[in-house]
Amino acid sequence: MTALSDPALSPATDIRRVTARPFEGQKPGTSGLRKKTRVFMQPGYLENFTQSIFDAIGGLSGKTLVLGGDGRFFNDQAIQTIMRMAAANGAARVIVGQGGILSTPAASNLIRIRRADGGIVLSASHNPGGEDEDFGMKFNGPNGGPAPESLTDAIFARTGGITEYRTLDTPDLDLSALGECMLGGMTVEVIDPVADYAALMESLFDFDAIRGLFASGFTMRFDAMHAVTGPYAREIIERRLGAAPGTVVNAVPLPDFGGGHPDPNPVWAKDLVDLMMGGDAPDFAAASDGDGDRNMILGRGVYVTPSDSLAVLAANAHLAPGYAKGISGIARSMPTSRAADRVAERLGIEMHETPTGWKFFGNLLDAGRVTICGEESAGTGSDHVREKDGLWAVLLWLNILAVRREPVAGIMAAHWAEYGRNYYSRHDYEAVASDRANALVDRLRGMLPMLPGQVFAGLRVQAADDFAYLDPVDGSTSARQGIRVMFEDGSRVVLRLSGTGTEGATLRVYLERYAGTDQPHDLDPDRALAPVIVAAEELALIRAHTGRERPDVTT
């Protein structure tokens, strides 16, 4: 590292103690604290939450933190504030991505390989960016994973009793140059955000085989959606794997994601879907989200649902060197389809159903109980880090394609022929008035004991509950994680309120219907799911509660 010096940043810099007042609503959700950017920009708001994190983890004296974000609006200013506060709180070192850029999985990897005491990731993930859009902040622990509920509860409690925060009065640091400098008595280390992550990927996957795939004429399109994965994908897919220049599009991270919505699904990445369903489609396509932890997978003429992708990756993971000895188990979030369950049963390995939120996978991964995890919201990952990892999923798909030399559609057809198909869809009703959303859920909770045996749209209810999770590693429990209604034919409806929005409530309705190995696997999902969709409406009275005739987003 090159040593950078600035007399204004000497260890003698005075610590300033600033009187603080609590802000309401600084409660971290499943992925940290997310609010409108202007909320975070209020005087003292970011500082209060940052100090609350530092206090809740027992202070920063002598500790090392990893810091970075997805480049959205306010990312650069927030990083400077957090660094000054870390120095004032006695941190020994902050490791920050060049330009303030660091994908969520890359941050998790850095925390682990540098044995840091934790990290702060600045992102609202797949939410839009900009001064009038969304911002987010979360703390990851020493294992590289999101803070557990016990810690987020402690952070929230601290936000309600905070009386001061500590900072330095110093100029902003230049984060464009690699190297080290001093901020007060703290070392700031600016690192290449891509290098360590790319090395990790090369250790897991057969880069020679994938290079051979591209050399054979295989074509691909990767849409980085003007988000953080762009630099990572260009380095790995184009430079290291030899894909044609221009394979990665929208590769430059922008504060407003180019005015787009960095959520890799058929709605917000419609141009990519249209390309893959057209006559000039490449062989393979993928996209990633704002902070690089989600993915979308497409083949020529086929969209692979995240639930199916999890199942296919788990069934074929042994084709990649990093998983050649097999996998110990699979975990999925409760709303994710049960396609992966059938793979686990066939492989004779553990299968775990957890609440939504990657933090629930952490204990299972740390204990070696599972190797691969996934969520229906386009997050998949493995025990290589403690976060979901969009580019990892894309590279594992490429490794599978390089070994099997079959098109994506062929791989999906073969998988369904062996395991059957779980037709699946998610309907999102966004920014629903909170009182209306809560009334819908409360009504359903009250109905649960009476539902078994009742018939909705020709489907008889077998069981219904409000999902509760008992962690098999630490014995902790999480209640009220989503309403499940299971029908006798294997169909399922799940309803839950999401904690990733910044306005009102988002009602998510998950619809699933199983077609066995002897049943058709080529139906349009809307047709296959039609009776389940009607049953969900009859059950929950969605239109009456939300005032919506149809969902805002269907994936």
CA distance 471 to 150: 13
Question: 404 and 319 in contact (C-beta within 8 Å)?
Answer: yes
In this structure, what token pair is assigned to residue 519? 């049943």
| Beta carbons of 298 and 247 less than 8 angstroms apart | no
Q: Contact, 343 vs 330, CB < 8 A?
A: yes
Is 288 tagged catalytic?
A: no
Scan for tokens 């989200």, then name that residue: 289
Single-letter residue type at 194: V
C-alpha separations of 176 from 101, 120, 229, 296, 434 in Å: 10, 19, 18, 31, 43
Residue the block writes with tokens 């004296």 = 61
Q: Measure the CA–CA gap between 292 and 103, rounded to whole angstroms.
A: 5
- Hey, how many other C-beta atoms are within 10 angstroms of the C-beta on 401? 23
CA dihedral 518, 519, 522, 526 (to 10 degrees): -160
Q: What does the alpha-carbon distance between residue 171 and residue 6 come to, in Å, rounded to a whole number?
A: 10
Written as one string, the DSSP assignment of 6-38 is: -GGG-TTPPEEEEE----TT---BBTBEEEEHH
In three-state secondary structure terms, 424 is strand
For 493, the 3-state DSSP assignment is strand
Between the two ends of the chain, the Cα-to-Cα distance in Å is 46
Element (DSSP H or E) covering residue 199: helix 195-204
Q: Do 381 and 374 contact (CB within 8 A), yes or no?
A: yes
* Alpha-carbon span 61 to 88, nearest angstrom: 10
Active-site residue, selected from the candidate residues 125, 309, 333, 425: 125
Dig out the tokens for 200 from the structure. 């990790």
Instruction: Please tell me what DSSP assigns to residue 128.
Output: -
Q: Which residues pair with 296 in a beta bridge?
A: 287
Distance CA 170, CA 527 (A): 61
Sign of the torsion formed by the C-alpha atoms of 68, 71, 75 and 76: positive
Q: What is the DSSP string of 46-85?
A: HHHHHHHHHHHTT--TT-EEEEEE---TTHHHHHHHHHHH
Pair of tokens at residue 449: 């004991």
Residue 317 CA to residue 325 CA, distance in Å, equals 9
Q: Which token pair is 2?
A: 């090159």
Distance from C-alpha of 137 to C-alpha of 381, rounded to nearest angstrom: 21
Q: Which residues are catalytic?
A: 125
